[in-house]
Amino acid sequence: MVKDYDVGIAGSLTMIVLFTTVTLLLRSFYKRFNRLQKNSEVVQENEDDN
């Protein structure tokens, strides 16, 4: 008993906005994570030098 739903243009635009937002957020968190990883490596190297 599968029903077909016609979401129309509003549903399509909503999905585009949602996927774009999620993609931007994931990219932002990934860049922040990489930056934190690099900073922790620099701190570790500085501690080893002392």
The amino acid sitting at 5 is Y
Mean pLDDT by groups of 10 residues along the chain of 50 residues = 81 95 98 91 74
Distances (CA, A) of 34 to 13, 39, 41, 47: 32, 9, 11, 20
| Upper half-sphere CA count for residue 23 (Cβ side, 13 Å) | 6
pLDDT computed for residue 26 by the predictor: 98
> What is the pTM (predicted TM-score) of this model?
0.67
